[in-house]
Amino acid sequence: MERRKVLQLAAGAAALTLAPRGARALDYPTRPVHIVVGFAAGLSPDIIARLMAQSVSERLGQQFIVDNRPGAASNIGTEVAAHAAPDGYTLLLTVSANAINATLYQHQNFNFARDLTPVAAIGRTPFVIVVNPQFPVQSVAELIAYAKANPGKINVASAGVGTGPHVACELFKMMTSTDMVQVTYKGSYMTDLLGGQIPIAFGPIVQIIEDVRAGKLIAIGVTTPTRSAAAPDIPAIAEFVPGYAAAGWYGMCAPTGTPDDIVEKLNAAISAGVNDPALKTKLLGQGVEPGAMPVADFKKFVAAEIAKYAKVIEFAGIKVE
């Protein structure tokens, strides 16, 4: 009888332990969820976060609130999310800059790869190589040949050290063994690019595509692994440089330790939104090509991005002040 009571008590304790865990994803979320965005309101990451917040709110029946924490190349917001409770109620709108920053910034109070876990992919946004029509290059192949014939003589406009387009250019240089000079602008470089003072730039497709369509600039390649749905006539750089890929991207992460069942529930809700035709149209309007992934695949993707950009940063000797 004593043995039976002990077994019954043990079984009851196990049931109490397991019941909340099993009910966690079923009940989640029971209160508002905050999506931290490391950029100011009105910028592309903020817009994408708000589109996803509305979509997931409708699917999970609870409010998802965008919490802008701009500054330090998104590191302020990333730190907030990294130190939040791992309970599913704080998420981070994650961008390709996070994978770059993981190596670029050496002294942080968090470790992106360790302290945050990938939850769901949202999509990718291409950068594009554009040249002034006066520049004697009209294809990626011609650019590579011209750069090799004129090492250190081609200036490339950059929006800032360590930005996505800057690192995309450095990856191009690394993979093609070319030497081009990055010229960093504190403001917009478009006036100089259009005027011919600087001949070439790697830039966001949404920023540049209208000038390309107007014939003011020539687009010679997109940085996505394949051609972009936003501009299918522009070749992918990978058609000339096999394996090249340096697109911007968006996703969602959560503090490491967030229960797997909650991560999977979030992935399902976010992926359903990404695959919804109405939301797809809105994302494409922001220059984002929707692309959902299972949790495991997104984790592999983020790890590969961190590793890739670590090599580029070391190769180029990129440092931030």
In-domain check, residue 200: yes
Final residue before a domain boundary, out of 239, 262, 289 = 239
In-domain check, residue 160: yes
Final residue before a domain boundary, out of 218, 239, 260 = 239
What ranges in 108-249 are assigned the alpha helix state H? 112-115, 140-149, 164-176, 190-195, 205-213
Residues 209 and 295 in one domain: no
In-domain check, residue 179: yes
* CATH code: domain of residue 148: 3.40.190.10
Residues 55 and 204 in one domain: no
34-82 pLDDT tens trace? 999 999 999 999 999 999 999 999 999 999 999 999 999 999 999 999 9
In-domain check, residue 20: no
User: In whole angstroms, what is the distance from residue 262 CA to residue 89 CA?
Assistant: 10
DSSP conformational letter for 236: B
Final residue before a domain boundary, out of 239, 261, 296 = 239
Residues 151 and 298 in one domain: no
Q: Indicate the pTM of the whole model.
A: 0.88
222-278 pLDDT tens trace? 999 999 988 899 999 999 999 999 999 999 999 999 999 999 999 999 999 999 999
Residues 61 and 195 in one domain: no
Q: Is the dihedral of CA 296, 228, 103, 174 positive or negative?
A: positive
User: In whole angstroms, what is the distance from residue 62 CA to residue 34 CA?
Assistant: 11
Structure tokens at 116: 């945050």
Residues 75 and 134 in one domain: no
Could you check whether the bond before residue 277 is cis, i.e. omega within 30 degrees of 0? no
In-domain check, residue 25: no
User: In whole angstroms, what is the distance from residue 263 CA to residue 119 CA?
Assistant: 6
Residues 40 and 107 in one domain: yes
User: In whole angstroms, what is the distance from residue 146 CA to residue 196 CA?
Assistant: 17
pLDDT cut 70: percent of the chain above it: 92
In-domain check, residue 148: yes
Residues 156 and 136 in one domain: yes
Closest to 38 measured CA to CA, from 106, 108, 138, 134: 108
Residues 208 and 272 in one domain: no
* Domain span at 131: 127-239
In-domain check, residue 5: no
The radius of gyration computed from the CA coordinates of the chain, to the nearest angstrom, equals: 23
> What is the total count of domains within the chain?
2
Structure tokens at 311: 């090599």
